[in-house]
Structure 1
Amino acid sequence: MNVIKKLKTGSIVYGNLPRGCILCQKGKKLVLFVTGICNYKCFYCPISLERRNKDRMYVNGISVKSYKGILKEAERMDAMGTGITGGEPLLRFKKTLHIIKILKDAFGEEHHIHLYTSGLGINMEKIKMLEKAGLDELRIHIIEDT
């Protein structure tokens, strides 16, 4: 039975917390900002002007220019998972797929990867490709056009 509970962090949860959230609370989740490019201009967007609409990668807030930099930071912090975010990671779909594969190859299937997206351009073919690459969790924030 699902119940509403308050976590030590102050958050309120219905049911069980996803694995990605548990790892993040433990400080074991790498935060990978794939790109600042996004087609939306949401008023609540937390992306700084420095990163917004710029095609740059950051890992745990550190600018990286190569995939090797991602792996190095993941090793340094002993990451058990990665949260992929942006801008909109799906606007750099091939790059995002490649990163997922690199992380799974380097750290194994147990390395939990989730991706945040607005769902822009998502379809079943892309979802299957993400799953095949090793994505464990897809978090879609639906943006309603008005």
Structure 2
Amino acid sequence: MLQDRFGRRFYYLRLSVTDICNYRCNYCLPEGIGCGRSLMGENPLSVPEVATLVRAFASLGTEKVRLTGGEPSLRKDLVPLLEAVRASERIRRLAITTNGYRLPSQIDAWHRAGLDQINISIDSLDPAQFRHITGHNRLGTTLQGLERALTLGMTTKVNAVLLRQYNLAELDNFLAWIRETPVTLRFIELMRTGDNRAFFASNHVAGSDIETLLLREGWEQVIRSRDAGPAREYFHADYAGRIGLITPYGKDFCASCNRLRVSAQGKLHLCLFADQGFEMRETIAAGDSEALAAHIRVLIGGKAAGHQLHEGFTGATRNLAMLGG
């Protein structure tokens, strides 16, 4: 089992397959990806390299892999990538995070490839506000894809970044939606990155405020599984869906960390807000998963006790598209 010097065990790998995104979310990439950049990004890991990486992590006890971006669906070889992860018998759960842009046309192929959990970014249920936040008029298409995921029996979650000036007023609408919709709606505290200092200052909302409201209304916390993500989930007998809260500025947030991140180019990031990623590409490209596993064991010794977001430190993270948030 992969364990750091603080006794935290790591069952969960978040693997970016591209650092490119086709959305222009105001809290992440308001200016888009920039001119001249390939939609594949800069030399992302190939399917065989991903297979080697996953074998190494699986041998160290990883049970859940999430493909992130950028936007993973921009990879034309996404289905083979999913198949490469699913080929490892030790991986119990295969997930993806997507903006849903291509979801209706691709979700069936992803499901056939072995995908069993999907997280869809929906920061507003109002079409005009959705377009204002993301730069795209795709809410209807995204919701259509979500319905198909539910029909296929996939565990379906929705990510909504809390934004004081844009969607905080929609809280009641979100709650009304999950009264009948069996998804986990995860409210995510806006995190400060290298590129969003002013936006963060005017839009950050403490997740603890939402938690106080939920507890007052009779919501109860769900017991976490060992490969669960960072959200604290809540359920209510009157609702088909659940609420999740991701509160990186909350007390002891890092104490329960169970996940590691690998960039699209094969760097190991011990924290989303670490000041660097560790090069693994050469070892990955060699195809020796045992040597790679040994390398990862050494690198994990450098994982810090926690991030320094409270002190304004954002590390190397310029925007959340770099490592999938």
Go from structure 1 to structure 2 and tell me whether the alpha carbon gap of 1:56 and 1:43 turns closer, same or farther (over 3 Å shift).
farther
Go from structure 1 to structure 2 and tell me whether the alpha carbon gap of 1:107 and 1:101 turns closer, same or farther (over 3 Å shift).
same
Counterpart residue number, 2:24: 41
Tell me which of 111, 119, 131 is aligned to 1:145. 131
1:68-90 deviations in Å (ceiling 9; x for gaps): 44224423532101011000001
SS of the counterpart of 1:36? coil
- State how far apart, in whole Å, the 1-side matches of 2:51 and 2:83 are: 13
Q: What is the Cα deviation at residue 105 of structure 1? A: 1.6
Calculate the TM-score normalised by the size of structure 1: 0.61
1:121-142 deviations in Å (ceiling 9; x for gaps): 221x411111111101111102
Is the aligned partner of 1:27 residue 2:42? no
SS of the counterpart of 1:127? helix
Tell me which of 60, 63, 71 is aligned to 1:77. 60
Runs of 4 or more, structure 1, over 4 Å off, are none
Number of corresponding residues: 109
Q: Any conservation in 1 of the 2:97–2:118 contact (CA below 8 Å)?
A: yes
* Larger Cα-atom Rg: 2
- State how far apart, in whole Å, the 2-side matches of 1:131 and 1:68 are: 19
Calculate the TM-score normalised by the size of structure 2: 0.30
Q: Any conservation in 2 of the 1:36–1:56 contact (CA below 8 Å)?
A: no
Q: What is the Cα deviation at residue 103 of structure 1? A: 1.6
Q: What is the Cα deviation at residue 45 of structure 1? A: 2.8
Q: Any conservation in 2 of the 1:103–1:111 contact (CA below 8 Å)?
A: no
Counterpart residue number, 1:107: 89
Q: Any conservation in 2 of the 1:32–1:83 contact (CA below 8 Å)?
A: yes
Counterpart residue number, 2:109: 129
Letter aligned with residue 119 of structure 2: R
| Structure (1/2) with the larger strand percentage | 1
- State how far apart, in whole Å, the 1-side matches of 2:64 and 2:95 are: 8
SS of the counterpart of 2:27? coil
Segments of 5+ residues of structure 1 without an aligned counterpart are 1-24, 58-63
Counterpart residue number, 1:17: none
Segments of 5+ residues of structure 2 without an aligned counterpart are 1-7, 34-38, 124-129, 133-325
